[in-house]
Amino acid sequence: MAFNSLHFLVFFPIVVLIYFLIPLKIRYIWLLLSSYYFYMCWNAKYALLILFSTSATYLCGLLLQRNNNSGDISKSPRINKLILLLCIIVNLGILFFFKYFDFAFSSLQFFCGKFGIQLSTPKLDLLLPVGISFYTFQSLGYIIDVYRADVKAEKNFAKYALFVSFFPQLVAGPIERSTNLLRQINKPTPFNVENARQGLFTMAYGLFLKMVVADNIACVIDPIFLDYENYHGMIIMMCMILFAFQIYCDFHGYTQIAIGSANILGFHLQENFRAPYLAGNIKEFWRNWHISLTSFFTDYLYIPLGGNRKSTLRKYVNTMIVFLASGLWHGASWAFVLWGGINGLYLVLYDLFQNTGKNFICKFKIDICAPGWKLFSRFITFLLVDYTWIYFRAGGLKQAFRIQQTICRDFHPAYLFSESCWAIFGSYTTLLTILVSLIIIIATDYFRYKGLDWKKAVLRQQIVYRWLIYVALVFTIFAFGAFGTGNEQTQFIYFQF
């Protein structure tokens, strides 16, 4: 059940209505049933998978808590490590089996073939469970928090199961922490008009990002990427720039709908994006892009590896490990691994030459606060990030390399001013819709970057102006949104992860 489907348009009001009509003490049970129904709409059988993962981490959490309370100091640390290790192996084992088995053995076949060794390994061709990477990481975050004694193990199985399967953020995040979401599940709140107003407005903005911006861009660039070898390199380059906005608006749109729907129910999820394309350097970009995943890897992988507490070389190695793992998390393909590796290399080089850059700025007396310098640094950062999206969009190394070759072979900027270049949009209406939408996004992100909550500013306006904005937003979605003709055409990009 996608957020931009008629099914969800019927499902969500029913969930909200019943949720606030039933007593506070049993609301979590209704949300749990609703969340499992929401997930089963994709594949009912895989609900058993999320139930098994939930049960495993729930039991391990109780064992950790019981062991901590036993009072036997000599045995507790060793037993706790064994319980934690078992839980991690079970959860990552499930993730590996469904997401990485075919990739791992096809890679093994390839490398063995280089040495003349032939392996005949049957491919499983399993259907990837929707959101498996997200709920697996959320479960792992919980069990590690219990192990560290940052939280106490949840004794109520239904409440913990709701924490893992909470439907607004189940499929594509944000990856919530037990210190935030589980605490709210244990303390439900009554209906709040302000939460509902803000939630509905946030959901509408998320639908605008997805249907008006991301899906319209997809309609333009998807046919071109399917046949990229027959297009001019400058068209491919322009499509890559558009893809950068497509993936941002698609994923940010999902997050906004998730945050908005949770707000209506009285829950507050963490933000996942803070105007990432306005970042002035690659380090700032990764502080503001997919924040929940970045913070997860920082807290549960980078810091345990030693972070920056040891040698400089060790810090760089840890950074590369984190980004290679992030690339692999995104997809079972060497293209994703290389995408993560390049981004990790960016951060290593940025840190390595940071002092050199400061000396250069001082020597030539560059005013880093000047609008021109800020615009230049943001432009360079965007280009660096956009280059890595080639590996993300191509889905395979060969395709990514061929796309780069096509761009380099036909790199003639003058072609951008030709009529045939802009003919890819099909009509002036589509072109104008995308351009105006991107201007709106950049403007709203600029306010966000400056620390101004533009949505709250809208909600503070007088009722006439406020409703004019509401009507304009809804009208734009229905008039210019790309609704598609089937589930595949309206799918969120991050559902595949």
Catalytic residue list:
330
Measuring CA to CA, which residue among 249, 314, 250, 327 is closest to residue 286? Answer: 327
Task: Name residues whose C-beta falls within 8 Å of residue 220's C-beta, 6 or more positions apart in sequence.
Answer: 239, 242, 424, 425, 426, 430, 434
99 secondary structure, DSSP code: I
398-404 — which CB contacts under 8 Å span 24+ positions? 399/335, 400/335, 400/338, 402/228, 402/229, 403/228, 403/236, 403/240
3-class secondary-structure state, position 84: helix
CA angle 445, 451, 454 (to 5 degrees): 60
CA 174, 179, 185, 190 dihedral sign is negative
CA distance 128 to 346: 31
CA distance 84 to 140: 9
Other C-beta atoms lying within 10 Å of the C-beta of residue 461: 12
